[in-house]
């Protein structure tokens, strides 16, 4: 998606995209034979995820895809 000042005005927005004001969120899920084996989220505290959490996330991902 491309969004510049012209696009901003066409959409009646008051501010164009500013990379310096933005936060990038990254989520990655790694599966092996449909089982979630590892997950990375750059918003977490760095500790490993519990088995229950991974099972719940696995169910969410399977429902989405």
Q: What is the pLDDT of residue 44?
A: 65
> Residues 58, 36: contact at Cβ < 8 Å?
yes
- Residue 17 CA to residue 3 CA, distance in Å, equals 7
pLDDT digits (tens, 9 = 90+) for 19-64: 788 888 888 888 899 888 888 877 766 666 788 888 888 888 888 7
Q: What is the pTM of this model?
A: 0.48
Q: Where are the alpha helices (DSSP H) in the chain?
A: 5-10, 51-64
What's residue 46's pLDDT?
61
pLDDT at 47: 62
Write phi, then psi, for 47 (nearest 5 degrees): -80, 155
Paired residues of 36 in beta bridges: 31
């Amino acid at each position: 998606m491309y969004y510049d000042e012209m696009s901003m005005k066409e959409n009646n927005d008051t501010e164009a995209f500013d990379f310096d004001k933005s936060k990038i969120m990254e989520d990655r899920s790694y599966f092996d034979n449909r089982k979630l084996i590892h997950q990375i989220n750059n918003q977490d505290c760095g500790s490993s995820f519990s088995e229950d959490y991974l099972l719940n996330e696995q169910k969410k991902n399977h429902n989405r895809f």
